[in-house]
A and B are shown apart, each in its own frame.
Chain A
Amino acid sequence: MSSVRLQNVSRLYHHVRALDDVTLEIASKSLTVLCGPPAAGKSVLLRLLVGLEQPDKGRIFINDRDITDVPAAQRRIGYVPQSFALFPHVSVFDNIAYPLALQKVGRAEIERRVDQVADILRIRPLLVKRPQQLSGGEKQRTAIARGMLKNADLFLLDDPLVGLDFKLRESLMEDLKDMRAELGATFLYVTSDSLEALTMAEDIIVLDAGRLVDANSAAALYDRPRHLRAAELVGFPRCNVLPGVVEAGGLCRTGIVNFRLAEPTSFVGDVAVAARPEHIWHRPDGAPATIRLMENIGAECVVYFQAGEETLVTSVSSPSVAHLDIGSPFPFAVSAEGLLVYDRATGDLLGRGQGQANA
Chain B
Amino acid sequence: MTAQPVTFWAAGRDKPMPDIRLTQVSRVFGAFKAVDDITTVFPEGTVTCLLGPSGCGKTTLMRMIAGLETPTHGSIKFGERDVTELPPGKRDVAMVFQYPVMYRTLNVIENIELPLRRDRSLSAAEIRRRADEVLDVLQLTGERRRRIGDLDIGTRQRVAVGRAIARQCDVILFDEPTTNVEVHAKLALIRAFKEFRARLRQTVIYVTHDQTEAMTLADQIALMQSGRISQCAPPHVMYDRPESRFGGWFLGNPGMNFLTPRTRDGRLLQFDALPCAIAVPADADGELSLGIRPEHIDVLHEPAADTVPARITRSSITIGGQHLLSLAVGEARLKAKTAPGEPPKDGSTVFIRCPLEHTVLFNDGLRLHETVARAG
Interface residues of A (CB under 8 A from B): 135-137, 165-168, 170, 177, 195, 198-201, 218-219, 222, 235-237, 276-278, 292-300, 304, 314-318, 322, 325-327
Interface stretch (choices B98-106, B122-130, B187-195, B348-356): B187-195
Q: Are B317 and A167 in contact, CB atoms less than 8 angstroms apart? A: no
How far is A298 from B53 in the complex, measured between Cα atoms in Å? 17
How far is A317 from B235 in the complex, measured between Cα atoms in Å? 15
Q: Is B337 an interface residue (CB 8 A)?
A: yes
Closest Cβ–Cβ distance, residue B58 to chain A (whole Å): 12
Q: A298-B239, A298-B251 are in contact. Are A165 and B314 (CB under 8 A)?
A: no
> Which chain B residues in 189-209 approach chain A with CB under 8 Å?
190-191, 194-195, 198, 209
Q: A166-B211, A293-B190, A298-B239 are in contact. Are A277 and B317 (CB under 8 A)?
A: no
Q: A136-B54, A167-B249 are in contact. Are A195 and B319 (CB under 8 A)?
A: yes
A170, A198, A300: which contacts B317 (Cβ < 8 A)?
Answer: A198
Q: Is B255 an interface residue (CB 8 A)?
A: yes
Closest Cβ–Cβ distance, residue B327 to chain A (whole Å): 14
Q: A219-B343, A293-B191 are in contact. Are A199 and B215 (CB under 8 A)?
A: no
Q: Are B249 and A297 in contact, CB atoms less than 8 angstroms apart? A: no
B216 surroundings in chain A (CB, below 8 A): 294-296
B212 surroundings in chain A (CB, below 8 A): 295-298
Q: Are A177 and B53 in contact, CB atoms less than 8 angstroms apart? A: no
Q: Are A167 and B250 in contact, CB atoms less than 8 angstroms apart? A: yes
Q: Are B187 and A304 in contact, CB atoms less than 8 angstroms apart? A: yes
Q: Is B115 an interface residue (CB 8 A)?
A: no
Q: Is B1 an interface residue (CB 8 A)?
A: yes
A295 surroundings in chain B (CB, below 8 A): 187, 190, 212, 216
A195, A325, A326, A327: which contacts B318 (Cβ < 8 A)?
Answer: A195
Q: Are A198 and B316 in contact, CB atoms less than 8 angstroms apart? A: yes
B294 surroundings in chain A (CB, below 8 A): 299
How far is A299 from B251 in the complex, measured between Cα atoms in Å? 10
How far is A317 from B338 in the complex, measured between Cα atoms in Å? 12
Closest Cβ–Cβ distance, residue A39 to chain B (whole Å): 14
B293 surroundings in chain A (CB, below 8 A): 299
Q: Is B340 an interface residue (CB 8 A)?
A: yes
- Chain A minimum-CB-distance residue to B319: A300
B209 surroundings in chain A (CB, below 8 A): 165-166
Count the B residues whose beta carbon is within 8 Å of the partner chain — how many? 43
Closest Cβ–Cβ distance, residue A63 to chain B (whole Å): 25
How far is A295 from B253 in the complex, measured between Cα atoms in Å? 13
Q: Is B74 an interface residue (CB 8 A)?
A: no
Q: Is B324 an interface residue (CB 8 A)?
A: yes
B347 surroundings in chain A (CB, below 8 A): none
B210 surroundings in chain A (CB, below 8 A): 166
Q: Are A237 and B254 in contact, CB atoms less than 8 angstroms apart? A: no
B87 surroundings in chain A (CB, below 8 A): none
Other 10 A-B pairs with CB < 8 A, given A299-B294, A325-B1: A166-B209, A219-B317, A236-B318, A276-B320, A278-B320, A296-B212, A298-B239, A299-B253, A299-B293, A299-B295
How far is A195 from B320 in the complex, measured between Cα atoms in Å? 10
Q: Are A298 and B320 in contact, CB atoms less than 8 angstroms apart? A: no
User: Can you spell out 7 A-B residue pairs with CB atoms less than 8 angstroms apart?
Assistant: A136-B54, A166-B210, A198-B317, A219-B343, A222-B317, A292-B191, A327-B2
- Chain A minimum-CB-distance residue to B326: A174
How far is A219 from B318 in the complex, measured between Cα atoms in Å? 11
Q: Which 6 A-B pairs have the closest CB atoms?
A: A315-B320, A296-B215, A278-B321, A299-B295, A219-B343, A278-B340
Q: Are A277 and B321 in contact, CB atoms less than 8 angstroms apart? A: yes
A293 surroundings in chain B (CB, below 8 A): 187, 190-191, 194
A137 surroundings in chain B (CB, below 8 A): 54
B374 surroundings in chain A (CB, below 8 A): none
Q: Is B55 an interface residue (CB 8 A)?
A: yes
How far is A316 from B332 in the complex, measured between Cα atoms in Å? 29
Q: Are B316 and A297 in contact, CB atoms less than 8 angstroms apart? A: no
Q: Are A297 and B194 in contact, CB atoms less than 8 angstroms apart? A: no
A294 surroundings in chain B (CB, below 8 A): 216
- Chain A minimum-CB-distance residue to B212: A297
How far is A237 from B321 in the complex, measured between Cα atoms in Å? 9
- Chain A minimum-CB-distance residue to B314: A177
Q: Are B54 and A297 in contact, CB atoms less than 8 angstroms apart? A: no
A278 surroundings in chain B (CB, below 8 A): 320-322, 340
Closest Cβ–Cβ distance, residue B258 to chain A (whole Å): 13
Q: Is B88 an interface residue (CB 8 A)?
A: no
Q: Is B252 an interface residue (CB 8 A)?
A: yes
Q: Are A199 and B320 in contact, CB atoms less than 8 angstroms apart? A: no
How far is A231 from B182 in the complex, measured between Cα atoms in Å? 20
B53 surroundings in chain A (CB, below 8 A): 165, 167-168
- Chain B minimum-CB-distance residue to A296: B215
Q: A165-B53, A201-B316 are in contact. Are A298 and B2 (CB under 8 A)?
A: no
How far is A137 from B317 in the complex, measured between Cα atoms in Å? 25
Closest Cβ–Cβ distance, residue B233 to chain A (whole Å): 14
How far is A165 from B316 in the complex, measured between Cα atoms in Å? 21
Q: Is B236 an interface residue (CB 8 A)?
A: yes
Closest Cβ–Cβ distance, residue B257 to chain A (whole Å): 13
Q: Are B252 and A326 in contact, CB atoms less than 8 angstroms apart? A: no
Closest Cβ–Cβ distance, residue B127 to chain A (whole Å): 29
Closest Cβ–Cβ distance, residue B50 to chain A (whole Å): 14
Q: A304-B187, A322-B236 are in contact. Are A170 and B55 (CB under 8 A)?
A: no
A218 surroundings in chain B (CB, below 8 A): 316-317
A277 surroundings in chain B (CB, below 8 A): 320-321
Which of B187, B250, B293: most chain A CB closer than 10 A? B187
B195 surroundings in chain A (CB, below 8 A): 326
Q: A170-B253, A315-B320, A326-B1 are in contact. Are A165 and B236 (CB under 8 A)?
A: no
- Chain A minimum-CB-distance residue to B250: A167
